[in-house]
């Protein structure tokens, strides 16, 4: 597989992932309304399937950063890579409370400052939580790169296996036990056995998947794994709601999401690698540089689009969900594309510059 082809399938996966993220947040309100109805059940399962998006983003980062020779350079990491994610993060952390203040008719410097000053330990907008583990992994990337470039495939499987068992499998089993015996499967915080913690596992996993041959995997088996894991995970999340009570930690602590994400990543990798249409390739290559900015802005657009639909259109259920989804997606891409046309602004708000690094 040549380099350009490989980059394209990652662009393909990245674009798919951002539209899944938008769907999660657009449909979130519909997962708590009309509970028990057929449309609610469909929305909820689709919402759960879309949760592969965040793990996939970390896997893409692992695929790219851990395969780059530049990653071992501390100078390049701190002068080029980290600013490209932290500068837009800081900018949108300031913009978000301003936009919310305008929406709530309570905009003031004091209100904005009181929110922004908590930026180190609390996101100023709910979707910005993603930036904290992402920046952490960027900071650690030279260390992780040094490890993986000297590790065998067997060692990488061993490390990701430890991560999967300690961070996902045991917590998933624990929530299924009666409350009085759940602690049987809880690891002592003193022992700190979470040797590979949080989203770092996805980061290494993304790299690992570039080192193993996935061409011979059976598509039907992968689809079945994806569907069964998603349906099981959705059922458990409904029957045992506390699996979601970890500030988005369920992306790691629910065993179903990693399994579902790996199956989806391999499927998308194979499908993306087979795309030959120049129009399709150009479309995804156009959208890919906009993904980061779209992630940062889309939730603010939902804030305005959602009540407008509710107040002006007599459309409900899945039709309303998908109409809002299409509008938010188009507006997000359009606005970030316009920002990207403006020198300086594109770096501040999207982390992109004219010259690719």
Q: In whole angstroms, what separates CA 314 from the centre of its chain?
A: 32
Give the residue from 157, 227, 209, 297 showing the smallest Cα distance to 9. Answer: 209
Q: What angle do CA 295, 204, 149 make, to 5 degrees?
A: 125
Q: Is the pLDDT of residue 314 over 80?
A: no
Give me the pLDDT at residue 33, please.
Answer: 82
Tell me how many domains the chain contains: 1
CB count, 10 Å around CB of 148? 19
Q: Is the pLDDT of residue 191 over 70?
A: no
Q: What beta strand segments (E) does 104-188 contain?
A: none
252-262 in b/e burial notation, b at 16+ Cβ within 10 A?
Answer: bbbbbbbbbbb
Among 41-45, 297-301, 306-310, the minimum mean pLDDT is found in 306-310
- Under a CB-based contact definition with an 8 Å cutoff, are residues 93 and 117 in contact? no
**From CA 46, how far away is CA 76, in angstroms rounded?**
40
Tens digit of pLDDT for each residue in 18-66? 999 999 999 988 888 878 788 889 999 999 999 999 999 999 999 999 9
Give me the pLDDT at residue 180, please.
Answer: 73
Q: Is residue 27 part of a domain?
A: yes
Q: Is residue 320 part of a domain?
A: yes
State the residue range of the domain holding 158: 3-350
CB burial of residue 237 (10 Å; 0-12, 13-18, 19+):
buried
Token pair recorded at residue 230: 């998603």
3-state SS assignment for residue 307 = helix
Q: Is residue 193 part of a domain?
A: yes
Q: Is residue 188 part of a domain?
A: yes
Q: Is residue 355 part of a domain?
A: no
Q: Is residue 102 part of a domain?
A: yes
| Mean pLDDT, all residues of the chain | 88
Claim: this prediction has a pTM higher than 0.75: yes
Selected residue with higher pLDDT from 316 and 228: 228
Q: Is the pLDDT of residue 217 over 50?
A: yes
Length of the chain: 357
Q: Is the pLDDT of residue 333 over 80?
A: yes
Q: Is residue 357 part of a domain?
A: no
């Amino acid at each position: 597989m040549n380099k350009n082809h490989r980059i394209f399938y990652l662009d393909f996966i990245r674009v798919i992932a951002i539209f899944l993220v938008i769907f999660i947040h657009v449909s979130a309100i519909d997962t708590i309304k009309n509970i028990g109805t057929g449309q609610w059940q469909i929305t909820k399962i689709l919402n759960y399937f879309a949760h592969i998006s965040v793990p996939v983003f970390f896997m893409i980062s692992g695929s790219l950063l851990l395969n780059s020779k530049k990653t071992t350079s501390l100078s390049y990491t701190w002068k080029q890579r980290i600013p490209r994610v932290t500068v837009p993060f800081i900018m949108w952390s300031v913009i978000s409370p301003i936009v919310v203040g305008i929406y709530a008719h309570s905009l003031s410097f004091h209100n904005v400052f009181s929110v922004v000053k908590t930026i180190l330990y609390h996101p100023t907008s709910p979707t910005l939580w993603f930036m904290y583990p992402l920046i952490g992994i960027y900071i650690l990337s030279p260390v992780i790169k040094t490890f993986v470039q000297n590790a065998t495939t067997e060692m990488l499987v061993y490390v990701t296996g430890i991560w999967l068992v300690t961070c996902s499998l045991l917590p998933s089993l624990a929530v299924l036990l009666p409350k009085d015996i759940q602690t049987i499967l809880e690891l002592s915080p003193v022992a700190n056995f979470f040797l590979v913690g949080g989203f770092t596992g996805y980061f290494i996993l993304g790299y690992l998947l570039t080192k193993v041959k996935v061409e011979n995997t059976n598509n039907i088996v992968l689809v079945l794994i994806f569907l069964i894991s998603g349906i099981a995970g959705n059922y458990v999340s409904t029957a045992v709601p506390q699996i979601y009570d970890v500030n988005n930690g369920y992306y790691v602590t629910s065993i179903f999401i990693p399994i579902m994400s790996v199956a989806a990543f391999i499927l998308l990798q194979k499908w993306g690698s087979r795309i030959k249409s120049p129009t399709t390739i150009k479309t995804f290559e156009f959208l890919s540089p906009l993904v980061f900015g779209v992630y940062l802005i889309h939730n603010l657009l939902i804030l305005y689009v959602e009540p407008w639909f509710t107040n002006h259109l007599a459309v409900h259920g899945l039709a309303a969900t998908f109409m809002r989804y299409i509008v938010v997606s188009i507006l997000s891409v359009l606005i970030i594309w316009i920002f990207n046309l403006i020198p300086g602004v594109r770096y501040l708000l999207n982390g992109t510059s004219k010259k690719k690094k």
